[in-house]
């Protein structure tokens, strides 16, 4: 029966709505639709009574089921009921329960009032996901100092500041000038400045990633159509309600192309018997899911029992539930909002992200360990230097022991400055930022800098199938028409090119302009069914083509454009539009699950010819066909042989697997069926006596570049685990085509497992299966992906997880590196470390190459920096050990670290990739940045750097006629010197010459070391610095600056040279500098050759 609710207060509004309902405008256009709505209206009835608690009348109209006779048989029943106490409410509830109505429905059949919405918003909150806590600018800044090397530099800066303050306090007040104070505090100032710049780069990168992500946020729908009460208290459909303001109990409308704004139960289908939804972002299914109005026996569990019973079913089994952020692809419907915000299915998955453990990247772990080791080493050396200097505290050159202690404390601090590679944190940050920029040029947004390098040690990529390995665009790949060959009718397959909705590609075997040349042939009819029996629409957005509607119908529209030979630039469906100009569609026989077909009546506006175009499931639809149209246009009757061949063809296509559709036509007289077109139970009889015209095979094809990318992954020793919600046949077929699984397993079982079956095995068996080879997991739940990633991590693997759906988000967060697709959901992007804007799987492989290149470059500049710093430490240590005068001042050492070491180290980050970088197996995540052999190399090269620096310093005095012992006893010169001129050689002014020689030798040998570091293992004669122009620039500029300081007096700025305590050098002195420096190239090449032998033997041993 039809139920019309009215109250004394709002009779006009109810009557208005009733008139609208009767016309079929809101609640549907067929008796079947109204019948289903009427039943569900009864379901909503009880709460209406309870909410209003006032006298309400029910006008009940009894219908015999015939639309035309609704007004002939009518009975009016008026019931008056008033709820006055809790007991009456309970009795009323029990009565409704006995009648089969739900006792706790979420809403009545009326729109919610403004007050009701406000109250529910207070209870349930806005319909938005809980946003991740955003870090403030201050928190982002502080985060940059959570690095061991940076913390060590802060300590050194603090000690240096304290030392400078102590020296300033002990100085004569009259001798303190602005210049002297600047000289005292320049060292800690520069260290702090470096750290600030380093932090600024890190903050800038993170803010840039956040800004890019904000630009990509397109998931959450903003506006929706809701039934609410207007200011006059009447029900009205509002089309501009912000989706965030939806509450449980709202009645909403959804149509093709809409994104569902909240979890809701379908209560009525409008103007269509079918409602299809794309749930790929949630479940991983590439095929749209059909929905139906919720059945009466599900109301008690879905609504009455707090949603626990009904919602406990898996997502893909909830046939009457629309999930937030899924997309309507076919039909339109009304649904009642059940859950909003964090309570939706998306919200539940987002909670899983929070529980995912955030794993430190291998780079973070190695740098932390390196920082700890370096801190202990530096502290030990500094203390050792200070201790061995204790006997010299009472040297006559000092006024007191305290002054001697302060002096050698400064020496120890200088040693600390020399030992710490101040530029290393900044260089690492800049090189990672450089890699980020290169990836950005390839459409990759990096949210976390170290994740760029992490790609380099990824050992397994856990990837979703839909939209990642495949295009997520259903495409017709095969078209079959019947042809007569040697007097035998046979199905002929025509291959269709293309892998997207963009109508580019030809139909192989199609004759030139066959569509127009043979207008009565099967090809013309296939075109007609493809465009006529279709509700989808192709839409061009930027460089891509998408669809509004059902993906399968989008594939048919694309096929139709490929069949038409006349194509025009800038038009996606010009040929479809031309067909629509000649034919008028006037009635649709909606698809239903029983007959599994869809039909459309159309009339040629020129000839008046009427035709029924039909598409549907091959096996069922072919049973209703009596004839087959041949490609030539002739028609033959279907025989048993034809039916047998048809079954064989469909079986073959399905095994590939392709989703098959049969296309058929029928010449009709529409008036003959006018009485049956509104009776769905008659649709099957209308669609009989059909003529089959062709078969199409459709699938979501793999991306073109994916095959080559997976081949490169295999070459690089990276395994693939495809994890999808699709069925086994589809998953395995794609995996075989992309060589993830072998096409011919040769008797060995395929490593393809259903999610629940895999996790029903013992943990040991699970780990055994995960330990080797490529794998495929199908029919997985969201938690399965996260558990697989955790288990891989427990096996020592470094998994990367790719995905675009909400269901991927927890695993994206859990993985060592999460990679989201640019077209994916906001939740996935927030959980990922990087986002692929172009969705291309091949970009991941390029990212792996970039990560490996960055790691190799890191080793190159760490090799350079540590060798140089060890050289500086040893130089100061040897000078202190031998008792030489001050070798280099703290300012000079700091200058070397910043200007001489910084630019070349940064330029080494531009080293081009090694041609064999993708031919090596992934490195072990536990591999040290500095291996024992590399550390040995650093000590050997560092020792020579120290020897050249101290050697040229000492040779200056030896060439002046002093002995080695006399140089060592410089502080007691007054006791043994024969004249005062000898002691003048050790004055601060005279020391500027040997210090300049030592500084120049140190600068030169380190710059030559930089040129040699263009490759860690290959000789400079084979891979020269010319391969990296940035390195040449990074070496030339510091050397020119050094010359500028030395000869600043001749340039008219003598104060610069005096500030640094240096003087110009003669040609002979420069020759001496180069003679002491050049041997570093030979030493480094010998060490490279030996290192290659060690690495080769180690690789053979590991194999």
Please list the active-site residues.
464
**Both tokens assigned to 273:** 């018997």
What gap in Å lies between CA 451 and CA 847, rounded to an integer?
10
> What's the full length of the chain, in residues?
1103
Distance CA 250, CA 113 (A): 10
By CB atoms closer than 10 A (0-12, 13-18, 19+), residue 779 is: buried
**Residues 807 and 282 sit within 8 Å (Cβ to Cβ):** yes
CA distances to 92, 696, 883, 1044 from 479, rounded to whole Å, are 62, 4, 90, 76
Burial class (CB in 10 A: 0-12, 13-18, 19+), 11: exposed
Question: In whole angstroms, what is the distance from residue 276 CA to residue 332 CA?
Answer: 9
Q: How far apart are CA 1098 and CA 1087, in angstroms?
A: 16
Nearest-10 crossing angle of helices 1067-1077, 932-959? 150
Separation between Cα atoms, residue 77 and residue 58, nearest integer Å:
7
Cα torsion angle, 923, 925, 928, 933, sign: negative
646 contact partners, CB below 8 Å, separation of at least 6: 491, 618, 622
Please say whether the beta carbons of 691 and 627 come within 8 A. Answer: yes
The CA–CA distances, whole Å, from 346 to 328, 673, 805 equal 17, 46, 10
Contacts of 697 (CB under 8 A, 6+ apart): 476, 477, 478, 479, 480, 653, 656, 658, 659, 660
3-state secondary structure of 491: strand
Q: CB–CB of 631/483 below 8 Å?
A: yes
Characterize the bridge pairing of strands 251-254 and 610-616: unpaired
CB–CB of 238/294 below 8 Å? no
Which of left, alpha, beta for 1049 (phi over 0: left; psi -120 to 50: alpha)? alpha
Q: How far apart are CA 601 and CA 669, in angstroms?
A: 10
CB 834 within 8 A of CB 819: yes
Neighbours of 567 (CB within 10 A): 13
In three state form, how does the secondary structure of 9-38 look?
CCHHHHHHHHHHHHCCCCCCCCHHHHHHHH
Cβ(461)–Cβ(719) under 8 Å? yes
Q: Taking each helix axis from N to C terminus, what angle separates 782-794 and 763-770, rounded to the nearest 10 degrees?
A: 80
Contact 699, 657 (CB under 8 A): yes
Task: Render 255-309 in DSSP notation, one character per residue.
Answer: -TTPBP-SEEEEEEEES-S-EEEE-HHHH--SS-EEE-PPPGGGHIIIIITTTHH
Measured CA to CA, the distance from residue 943 to residue 617 in angstroms comes to 79
Residues 199, 204, 209, 215: what is their CA dihedral angle, to the nearest 10 degrees? 160
Q: Are 969 and 395 in contact (CB under 8 A)?
A: no
Report the distance separating Cα 156 and Cα 159, nearest Å: 5
Closest CA to 721 of 807, 805, 784, 657: 784
Starting at the edge strand that comes first in sequence, how are the strands of the sheet with 223-229 ordered? 235-242, 223-229, 251-254, 332-339, 263-270, 321-322
Give the phi and the psi of residue 989 in degrees, each rounded to 5.
Answer: -70, -40
């Amino acid at each position: 029966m039809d139920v019309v609710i009215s109250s004394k207060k709002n009779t006009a509004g109810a009557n208005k709505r009733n008139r609208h309902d009767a016309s079929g405008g809101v609640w549907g256009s067929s008796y079947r639709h109204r019948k289903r709505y009427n039943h569900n209206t009864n379901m909503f009835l009880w709460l209406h009574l309870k909410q209003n608690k006032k006298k309400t009348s029910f006008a009940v109209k009894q219908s015999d089921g015939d639309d035309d006779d609704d007004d002939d048989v009518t009975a009016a029943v008026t019931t008056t009921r008033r709820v006055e106490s809790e007991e009456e409410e309970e009795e009323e509830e029990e009565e409704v329960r006995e009648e089969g109505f739900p006792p706790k429905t979420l809403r009545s059949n009326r729109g919610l009032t403004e007050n009701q919405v406000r109250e529910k918003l207070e209870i349930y909150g806005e319909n938005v996901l809980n946003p991740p806590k955003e870090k403030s600018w201050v928190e982002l800044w502080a985060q940059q100092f959570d690095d061991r090397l940076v913390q060590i530099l802060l300590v050194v800066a603090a000690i240096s500041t304290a030392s400078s303050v102590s020296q300033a306090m002990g100085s004569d007040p009259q001798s303190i000038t602005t210049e002297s104070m600047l000289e005292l505090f320049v060292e800690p100032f520069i260290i702090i400045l470096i750290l600030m710049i380093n932090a600024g780069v890190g903050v800038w990168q993170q803010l840039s990633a956040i800004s890019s992500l904000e630009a990509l946020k397109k998931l959450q729908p903003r506006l929706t159509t809701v039934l609410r009460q207007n200011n006059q208290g009447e029900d009205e459909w509002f089309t501009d309600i912000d989706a965030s303001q939806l509450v449980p109990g709202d009645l909403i409308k959804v149509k093709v192309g809409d994104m569902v704004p909240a979890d809701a139960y379908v209560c009525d289908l409008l103007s269509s018997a079918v409602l299809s939804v794309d749930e790929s972002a949630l479940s991983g299914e590439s095929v749209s899911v059909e929905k139906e109005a919720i059945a009466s026996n599900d109301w008690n569990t879905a609504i009455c029992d707090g949603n626990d019973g009904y919602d406990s079913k898996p997502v893909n089994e909830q046939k009457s539930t629309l999930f937030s952020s899924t997309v309507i692809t076919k039909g339109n419907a009304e649904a009642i909002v059940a859950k909003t915000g964090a309570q939706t299915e998306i919200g539940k998955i987002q909670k899983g992200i929070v529980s995912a453990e955030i794993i430190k990247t291998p780079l973070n772990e190695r740098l932390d360990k390196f920082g700890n080791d370096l801190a202990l080493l530096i502290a030990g050396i500094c203390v050792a230097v200070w201790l061995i200097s204790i006997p010299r505290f009472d040297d006559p050159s000092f006024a007191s022991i305290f002054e001697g202690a302060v002096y050698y404390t400064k020496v120890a601090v200088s040693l600390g400055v020399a030992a710490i590679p101040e530029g290393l944190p900044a260089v690492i940050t800049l090189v990672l930022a450089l890699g980020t920029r290169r990836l950005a040029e390839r459409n990759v947004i990096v949210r976390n800098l170290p994740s760029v390098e992490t790609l380099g040690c990824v050992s397994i990529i856990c990837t979703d199938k839909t939209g990642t390995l495949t295009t997520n665009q259903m495409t017709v790949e095969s078209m079959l028409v019947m042809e007569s060959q040697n007097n035998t009718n046979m199905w002929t397959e025509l291959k269709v090119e293309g892998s997207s909705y963009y109508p580019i590609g030809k139909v192989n075997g199609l004759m030139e302009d066959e569509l127009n040349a043979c207008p009565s042939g099967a090809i013309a009819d296939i075109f007609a069914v493809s465009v006529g029996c279709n509700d989808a629409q192709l839409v061009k957005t930027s460089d891509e083509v998408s669809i509004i509607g059902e993906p399968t119908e989008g594939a048919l529209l694309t096929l139709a454009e490929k069949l038409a030979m006349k194509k025009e630039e800038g038009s996606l469906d010009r040929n479809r539009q031309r067909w629509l100009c000649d034919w008028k569609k006037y009635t649709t026989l909606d698809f239903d699950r029983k007959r599994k077909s869809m039909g459309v009546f159309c009339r040629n506006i020129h000839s008046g010819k009427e035709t029924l175009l039909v598409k549907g499931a091959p096996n069922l639809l072919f049973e209703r066909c009596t004839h087959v149209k041949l490609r030539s246009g002739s028609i033959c009757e279907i025989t048993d042989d034809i039916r047998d061949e048809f079954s064989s063809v469909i079986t073959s296509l399905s095994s590939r697997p392709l989703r098959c559709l049969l296309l058929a036509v029928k010449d009709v007289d529409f008036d003959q069926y006018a009485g049956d077109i509104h009776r769905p139970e008659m649709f099957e009889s209308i669609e009989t006596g059909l003529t089959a015209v062709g078969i199409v095979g459709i699938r979501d094809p793999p991306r073109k570049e994916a095959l080559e990318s997976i081949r490169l992954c295999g070459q690089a020793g990276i395994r693939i685990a495809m994890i999808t919600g699709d069925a086994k046949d589809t998953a395995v077929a794609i995996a075989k085509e992309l060589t993830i699984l072998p096409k011919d397993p040769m008797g060995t079982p395929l490593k393809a497992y259903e999610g629940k079956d895999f996790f029903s095995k013992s943990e040991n068996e699970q780990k055994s299966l995960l330990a080797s080879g490529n794998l495929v997991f199908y029919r997985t739940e969201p938690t399965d992906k996260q558990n697989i990633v955790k288990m891989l991590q427990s096996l020592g693997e470094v998994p990367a997880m790719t995905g675009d759906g909400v269901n991927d988000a927890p695993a994206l967060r859990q993985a060592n590196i999460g990679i989201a697709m640019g077209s994916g959901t906001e939740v996935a992007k927030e959980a990922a470390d990087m986002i692929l804007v172009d969705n291309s799987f091949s970009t991941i492989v390029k990212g792996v190459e970039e990560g490996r290149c960055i790691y190799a470059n890191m080793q190159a500049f760490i090799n350079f920096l540590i060798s140089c710093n060890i050289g500086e430490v040893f130089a100061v240590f040897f000078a202190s050990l031998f008792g030489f005068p001050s070798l280099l001042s703290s300012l000079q050492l700091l200058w070397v670290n910043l200007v001489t070491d910084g630019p070349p180290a940064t330029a080494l980050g531009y080293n081009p990739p090694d041609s064999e970088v993708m031919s090596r197996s992934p490195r072990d995540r536990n591999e040290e940045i500095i291996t024992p052999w590399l550390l040995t190399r650093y000590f050997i090269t560092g020792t020579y750097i120290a020897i050249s620096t101290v050697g040229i310093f000492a040779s200056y005095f030896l060439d002046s006629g002093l002995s080695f012992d006399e140089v060592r006893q410089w502080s007691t010169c007054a006791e043994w010197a024969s004249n005062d001129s000898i002691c003048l050689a050790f004055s601060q002014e005279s020391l500027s010459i040997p210090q300049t020689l030592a500084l120049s030798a140190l600068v030169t040998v380190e710059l030559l070391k930089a040129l040699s570091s263009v490759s860690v293992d290959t000789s400079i004669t084979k891979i020269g610095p010319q391969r990296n122009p940035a390195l040449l620039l990074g070496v030339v500029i510091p050397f020119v600056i050094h010359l500028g300081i030395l000869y600043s007096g001749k340039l008219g700025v003598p104060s610069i040279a005096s500030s640094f305590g240096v003087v110009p050098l003669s040609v002979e002195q420069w020759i001496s500098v180069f003679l002491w420096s050049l041997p570093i190239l030979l030493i480094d090449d010998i060490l490279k050759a030996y290192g290659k032998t060690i690495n080769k033997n180690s690789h053979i041993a590991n194999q």
